[in-house]
Structure 1
Amino acid sequence: MSSTPSGRLILASTSPRRRELIRNLGLPYEVMASEADETIEDGLTPGQIVETLSERKARAVYERLPAGPPRQIVVGSDTIVVYNGRVLGKPEDRNDARRMLQMLQGSTHQVYTGIACIETGTGKSLIAHRMTKVVIKPLTESQIDHYIATGEPMDKAGSYAIQGIGATMVESIEGDYFNVVGLSLNLLSDMLQSFDIDVL
């Protein structure tokens, strides 16, 4: 295995949170919007949902890239929140955000994040996911309304951001914190080793 990372990462996402996280790896990268269809078929498990969407995002960008050198690894990712078996995506509006937060407050839910890596040239791909349990403390209606008024919930799965002011609502987590933010760096670094890219 090479001790010197080689190959540029292409993040198939315009999420500022994922961009900040992938920057922490210290590898050269660029960002390309996937513009992939995010509709899914019924009957998939949460893990299958995030893996399917992660691969779809990565492949949408991969298919727009030249096959020749330099080598590039396309990274797609998707995050969902699951409460009592129900998948919670991004809220449609403020009322939808309120509905989600009322469900999540005072209880435990799961956050699933999938990662897909595809190598240009060879087409080699790896797909995996992680799950983290999150406990949200009991919240009053006024606290929920105040949080919604900040605007932070509106583009977040489950209507909250653990890395923002939403952190004040999180009582505890069990698992990978960065998985909740939107990209498990531990999982991604393990996957990159299969492409002979050793982050450490």
Structure 2
Amino acid sequence: MHLVLASASPARLATLRSAGIDPTVIVSGVDESRLDGLPPAELALQLAELKCAAVAARDDVPEGALVLGCDSVLELDGEALGKPGSAEVAVRRWQAMRGRAGVLRTGHSLRDTATGRVAAATASTTVHFADVSDAEIAAYVATGEPLDVAGAFTVDGLGGAFVTHIEGDHHNVVGVSLPLLRDLVAELGHEWTELWSPTTA
């Protein structure tokens, strides 16, 4: 059983590899701005489903593979915060987030290309942010790290020191919930351990 990751995220790839899975990466090319206005959990799930479907339809997907699409947003005050894209937006995000908690929503969509069946769900993890100073925000944003990640932070990089604690699955904050993915694999009739690379097994 082979996994295809429909995502360019290096953090998702690293998380899967650390769990014994060596997926093929095929980037979906889906425009993430096309569904603006949806509630955060629904937005994350629908974008994951679009990414999964776009890649599963390609001719270069290995036969009989499982295709995984994921998308993450941070919910703060009912609003979905994706990638800030600019330093100015990232600074404003952090000024709003500091000393508070948000909910990281990651949509997961898994398609079995052999059967066409799809299993999908959203994982939610509450993230508590430190009361960082303006100087810390400026220095963090200047590194460039928060510009291209959902919610303008990472928990597995430079931003880890600014996350005081989380409630829920740590891996979900990185970008893919391993326990949820295991459930989706089982829902499609497969064993999680079938995805382990030969060197793991």
Stretches of structure 1 that go unaligned for 5 or more consecutive residues are 1-6
1:142 has 2:135 as partner: yes
Partner of 1:115: 108
3-state secondary structure, aligned to 2:126: strand
- Return the alpha-carbon distance in structure 1 between the equivalents of residues 85 and 37 of structure 2: 22
Partner of 2:59: 65
Contact 1:40 1:49 in 2 (8 A): no
Please report how far the alpha carbon of residue 85 of structure 1 lies from its aligned counterpart in structure 2 after TM superposition: 0.6
Determine which of 21, 26, 30 is the counterpart of 2:20: 26
Contact 2:98 2:130 in 1 (8 A): yes
Please report how far the alpha carbon of residue 73 of structure 1 lies from its aligned counterpart in structure 2 after TM superposition: 0.6
Task: Please show how residues 30-45 of structure 1 align to structure 2 within 5 Å.
Answer: 30-41=24-35, 44-45=38-39
Contact 2:39 2:78 in 1 (8 A): no
Contact 2:13 2:23 in 1 (8 A): no
- Return the alpha-carbon distance in structure 2 between the equivalents of residues 50 and 14 of structure 1: 16
- Return the alpha-carbon distance in structure 2 between the equivalents of residues 189 and 105 of structure 1: 33
1:169 has 2:162 as partner: yes
3-state secondary structure, aligned to 2:191: coil
Partner of 1:3: none
Determine which of 155, 170, 189 is the counterpart of 2:182: 189
Contact 1:66 1:120 in 2 (8 A): no
Please report how far the alpha carbon of residue 164 of structure 1 lies from its aligned counterpart in structure 2 after TM superposition: 0.6
Please report how far the alpha carbon of residue 41 of structure 1 lies from its aligned counterpart in structure 2 after TM superposition: 4.0
Q: How much identity, in percent, do the aligned residues show?
A: 36
- Return the alpha-carbon distance in structure 2 between the equivalents of residues 169 and 189 of structure 1: 29
Partner of 2:94: 101
Please report how far the alpha carbon of residue 147 of structure 1 lies from its aligned counterpart in structure 2 after TM superposition: 0.8
Contact 2:71 2:106 in 1 (8 A): yes
Please report how far the alpha carbon of residue 25 of structure 1 lies from its aligned counterpart in structure 2 after TM superposition: 3.3
- Return the alpha-carbon distance in structure 2 between the equivalents of residues 170 and 49 of structure 1: 24
Partner of 1:152: 145
Judging changes above 3 Å, is the alpha-carbon distance between structure 1 residues 42 and 144 closer, same or farther for their aligned structure 2 residues? closer
> Which residue identity is paired with 2:6?
A
Contact 2:63 2:114 in 1 (8 A): no
- Return the alpha-carbon distance in structure 2 between the equivalents of residues 105 and 9 of structure 1: 37
